[in-house]
Every structure is written in structure tokens, then in C-alpha cells.
Amino acid sequence: MNSTFLLNIFRFVILLALQIVLFNNINFLGFVNPFPYILFIILYPVNGNRAGLLAASFLLGLAMDMFLNSGGVHATACLVLAFFRPSIFKFAFGISYEYQTVKIADKFSPERFSFILIAVLLHHMVLYLLEIFRFNFFWEILWRTLLSTTFTLLLCFIIIYLIKPSKR
């Protein structure tokens, strides 16, 4: 039991609780809710256990589904994000990812921004695609994804930069 493991469990619980108690009740414009709980997947250590990440994200999504009565929508979206995380890393950070020196929650930089943007976008796209599940709502899906992504992104950055400096 090292501290990263405990920190991750702590993050898992806190983000899930915040999501359910607070962020699911925002309903901006009646239907837009941010999903900053995926910060758990984004902030997971770069060189951490991949199987662990997959299992944890699946459980995180499943817990969300239980609370929201949404079948397996969140579980799928989280799982897809967790699986493609290394590819997004490679895309966003290029060669420095190979040396495992990336820290996501650090000073603001275009690489970090693009990483979080792509991660959030991917998660939300899968989420709304599965949630709506009907092709005649195509524009609805795009519109919701776009609005929610902006909202989530904003909150992710606020959370990261509010909390991180105190820990160092």
C-alpha cells in the first residue's frame, strides 16, 4: 500500500461523491451537466498499472450508472477513455511521453491542454452517442457533447489548479 494507491482511492471516492451531490444537479440550460469525475482517469499516474486503471474506470463508470439509472453508458465511456489514454498521451506530448516524465497536474501548457481536451471530448462523445442511441438525434448529440465538453473542461482546470498547488 503506497501513497499513490491511497491517493487514487481517495480521488475515486471524492470525485464520485462530488459528481453525484453537486455536479449532477447543475442542469445548465436544462440539460447540460459537467462530468469532472473523469479527472480520476486523467490524473491517474502515467506509469501506473494499466489493468488497474481499466478495472477502476469500469467500476467508476458503473457506480455513476447506478446513480443515474443509465444502464452501462458511463461505464463504457470511462472504459474507452482509459484504454485510449496512452494513445492520447503519445499524441499530445510526443516524445517526452516515452520517457515517462509527464506530469499532468503541473503548470499550464498547450500539451496538457490538448491532452485534457481530447480526453474529455472522447469521453463525452462516447457517452452521448450511447446515451441517446438514436441516429435521428445526431445534431442533438453534437450539441450536447460540445456544450458539456466546454463545461467539463473548465471545471477540470479549475479543480486541478485549485487543489494541486497546496499538495506540493
Partner 1 sequence: MQQIINFIFKNSIRLLFLLLLITSLTLTIQSHSYHRSQFVSSANDVTGGVYQRINNVKEYFHLRTQNDELAKENAYLKQLLYNKPDTVIASTELIPRGYEDIKVIQSKVIKNSFNVPENYLTLNSGSKDGIKPDMGVVNSLGIVGIVEKTSKNFATVQSILNVKSQINAKIKKSNHFGSLIWNAKNVGYAQLIDVPRLASVRKGDTIVTGGRSVIFPENIPIGKIDKIFIDKATNYYTINIRLFNDMTNLGHVYVIENVKRKEIIKLEEETKPDE
The contact set with partner 1 (CB under 8 A) reads 20-21, 27, 30-33, 50-51, 54-55, 58, 61-62, 65-73, 75-76, 79-80, 83, 130-134, 137, 140
CB 62 → partner 1: shortest distance, Å?
7
CB 41 → partner 1: shortest distance, Å?
13
Nearer to partner 1, 22 or 158 (CB): 22
CB 107 → partner 1: shortest distance, Å?
31
Q: Give dist(CA 125, CA 152) in Å, integer.
A: 13
CB neighbour class for 123 (10 Å; exposed up to 12, middle 13-18, buried from 19): buried
CB neighbour class for 102 (10 Å; exposed up to 12, middle 13-18, buried from 19): middle
CB 154 → partner 1: shortest distance, Å?
18
Q: Do the Cβ atoms of 85 and 120 come closer than 8 Å?
A: no
Nearer to partner 1, 29 or 162 (CB): 29
| 116-75-33 Cα angle (round to 5) | 60
